[in-house]
């Protein structure tokens, strides 16, 4: 039995049977559950990323509601490629027009129809995929469109509670789900749900989760037992851990009568049990807003984001209970971090840190040890990475 190691809020070892990728799901299906491919095709999970439809108890307005990746390495490589393309796209715009003052720069952007996230949009459209990024962008635009209404507040819009990075949002659906080989991974309050798509109860288990049932109740109903494996596996993260490995936070900040920002950051495991070693990615974003004709709008304003503080690690071999399969959550100091992104005229400035580690370690942080700083011109706002 292969162990799946997941680093989020505690170093975990999930006892999960990873089903053979020769029983891969087909690229498209209209049935209530995914069908296995015909024949015993070796290395079937080595396909390029593609989108498909999987019945999860919800409905969407496009053909596909799930992105599929052959492995966590493929997932990570896709995100890195998308991010590089997205950065280059916006940097090229600034290379041509960045000399303009902020008002003229924003007017030019609107005039020529430049979208800072066009490579992400193109990726989603090429797969006819309903992404979390599009869902969040539509929600933000609707929130801003109502900003001339009485009682509107910078805190009215709540960003996704697990993923605030638009690049990563491009490969997740709005229910925080992604498929790796034959397994669907779903972020939920308090932990991670993993669905085996080859199990006949896969759709029922995922529908239960999307109908508001807690992670624990889904695992109890569909987790099976030692004799009969169930459709669902996962882990409920222990609260109030000394170290943690999953975090997401967003805060609206009013700077003046004409300027606002949203400070947000996330810390997420990018790969689990991958051939190249497990990776945690830390990101912080400064989103900029300015009032225009009575409404708040996303605007290009000189800004930056910074991450600083202390990183910690846990050795998976450390276990206070030798009879337990869950490693002890023991922190050890790993490194100081002080990294700041470019100070540019951006709608959304960012900073990024990848922390790669061998298979027996995971890198995260401890309570009140890691921070993100968000700058818009002379204004600064700092928020703390917290257990999610």
Q: Higher model confidence: residue 30 or residue 90?
A: 90
Overall average pLDDT of the 181-210 stretch: 96
Choice among 60-64, 159-163, 179-183, 344-348 with the minimum mean pLDDT: 60-64
User: In whole numbers, what is the pLDDT of the chain averaged over residues?
Assistant: 85
- Tokens describing residue 364: 């995260």
pLDDT digits (tens, 9 = 90+) for 314-359: 654 544 444 444 445 567 888 999 999 999 999 999 999 998 876 6
Q: Higher model confidence: residue 123 or residue 29?
A: 123
Residue appearing with tokens 């900003």: 147
Distance from C-alpha of 200 to C-alpha of 16, rounded to nearest angstrom? 17
* The pLDDT of residue 23: 47
* The pLDDT of residue 61: 83
Q: Residue 377: pLDDT above 80?
A: yes
Q: Where are the alpha helices (DSSP H) in 98-154?
A: 102-112, 118-126, 132-145
pLDDT digits (tens, 9 = 90+) for 121-135: 999 999 999 999 999
Distance from C-alpha of 295 to C-alpha of 149, rounded to nearest angstrom? 9
Are 87 and 281 in contact by the 8 Å Cβ rule? The answer is no
Within a 10 A sphere around the Cβ of 369, how many other Cβ atoms? 16
Considering only CA atoms, which of 190, 295, 197 is closest in space to residue 241?
190
Q: Residue 183: pLDDT above 60?
A: yes
Overall average pLDDT of the 384-388 stretch: 89
pLDDT digits (tens, 9 = 90+) for 30-79: 343 333 332 332 345 667 899 999 999 998 888 999 999 999 999 999 99
- The DSSP 8-state label assigned to residue 251 in this structure reads E
The span from the first CA to the last CA of the chain, in angstroms, equals 29
* The pLDDT of residue 14: 35
pLDDT digits (tens, 9 = 90+) for 200-252: 999 999 999 999 999 999 999 999 988 999 999 997 877 767 888 889 999 99
Residue appearing with tokens 């995929």: 129
Distance from C-alpha of 242 to C-alpha of 328, rounded to nearest angstrom? 10
Q: Residue 17: pLDDT above 80?
A: no
* The pLDDT of residue 88: 98
> How would you classify residue 231: left for phi > 0, otherwise alpha for psi between -120 and 50, otherwise beta?
alpha
Q: What percent of the chain has pLDDT over 70?
A: 81
Q: Higher model confidence: residue 303 or residue 35?
A: 303
* The pLDDT of residue 45: 67
- Tokens describing residue 221: 């109903």
Q: What is the CA radius of gyration of the chain?
A: 21
* The pLDDT of residue 315: 59
* The pLDDT of residue 135: 96
Q: What percent of the chain has pLDDT over 90?
A: 68
- The DSSP 8-state label assigned to residue 30 in this structure reads -
Q: How far is CA 132 from the centre of its chain?
A: 9
Overall average pLDDT of the 11-26 stretch: 39
* The pLDDT of residue 329: 59
């Amino acid at each position: 039995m292969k162990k799946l190691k997941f680093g989020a809020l505690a170093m975990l070892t999930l006892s999960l049977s990873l089903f053979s990728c020769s029983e891969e799901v087909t690229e498209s299906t209209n049935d209530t559950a995914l069908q296995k491919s015909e024949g015993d095709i070796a290395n079937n999970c080595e396909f390029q990323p593609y989108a498909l439809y999987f019945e999860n108890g919800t409905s969407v307005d496009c053909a596909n509601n799930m992105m599929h990746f052959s492995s966590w390495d493929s997932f990570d490589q896709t995100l890195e490629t998308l991010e590089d393309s997205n950065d280059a796209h916006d940097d090229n715009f600034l290379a041509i027009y960045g000399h303009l003052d902020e008002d003229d720069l924003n007017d030019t952007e609107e005039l020529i129809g430049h979208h800072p996230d066009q490579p992400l949009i193109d990726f989603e459209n090429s797969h006819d995929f309903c992404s979390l990024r599009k869902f969040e962008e539509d929600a933000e635009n609707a929130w801003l469109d109502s900003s001339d209404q009485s009682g509107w507040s910078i805190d009215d819009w709540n960003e996704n509670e697990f993923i605030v990075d638009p690049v990563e949002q491009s490969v997740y659906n709005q229910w925080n789900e992604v498929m790796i080989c034959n397994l669907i991974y779903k972020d939920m309050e308090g932990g991670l749900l993993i669905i085996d798509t080859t199990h006949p109860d896969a759709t029922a288990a995922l529908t239960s989760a999307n109908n508001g049932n807690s992670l624990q109740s889904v695992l109890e109903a569909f987790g099976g037992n030692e004799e009969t494996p169930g459709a669902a596996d996962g882990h409920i993260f222990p609260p109030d851990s000394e170290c943690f490995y999953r975090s997401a936070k967003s805060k609206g900040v009013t700077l003046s009568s004409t300027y606002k920002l949203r400070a947000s950051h996330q810390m997420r495991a990018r790969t689990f049990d991958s051939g190249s070693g497990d990776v945690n990615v830390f990101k912080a974003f400064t989103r900029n807003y300015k009032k225009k004709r009575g409404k708040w709008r996303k605007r290009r304003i000189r800004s930056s984001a910074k991450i600083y503080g202390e990183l910690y690690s846990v050795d998976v071999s450390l276990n206070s209970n030798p009879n337990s399969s869950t490693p002890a959550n023991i922190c050890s100091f790993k490194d100081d971090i002080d990294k700041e992104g470019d100070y540019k005229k951006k709608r959304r400035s960012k900073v990024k840190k990848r922390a790669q580690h061998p298979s027996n370690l995971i890198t995260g942080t401890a309570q009140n040890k890691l921070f993100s700083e968000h700058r818009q011109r002379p204004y600064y706002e700092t928020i703390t990475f917290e257990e999610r």
